[in-house]
Amino acid sequence: MAGIQTISFLVITVCLLLSSVNAEEKCGPNEVFQQYYNAGCEPSCQVPNKSGIPCSSRPVPGCACQPGFYRNSKKDCVTLKQCESSP
């Protein structure tokens, strides 16, 4: 019985490690993987400066915009100048 539990634990651990590695590879242009990403804290075209605004969600692993980029309505990371030129 202990052998099955050990094997199950190892399989689950390997699966979790592989899924976190794959998440890092899926980030788009101008994005960077963060272990503790919080979408509610990320600057956007609508609210470029979120300092002083409470975050609305719990941090989870995910892709955040790199510094100097903002999330637009299409969920892409763009420069502030590109924010102004898009609808």
- Report the C-alpha gap between 59 and 44 in whole angstroms: 17
**Higher pLDDT, residue 75 or 50:** 75
In which domain, by residue range, is 21 found? Answer: 2-85
For the segment 3-54, what is each residue's pLDDT rounded down to a tens digit? Answer: 666 555 545 554 444 555 554 568 999 999 999 888 888 899 998 987 777 7
Q: Is 26:53 a contact under the CB 8 Å cutoff?
A: no
How far is residue 44 from each of residues 6, 13, 60, measured CA to CA in Å? 45, 35, 18
Domain count across the chain = 1
Tell me the CATH number at 63.
Answer: 2.10.25.10
pLDDT at 13: 52
Name the pTM for this structure: 0.64
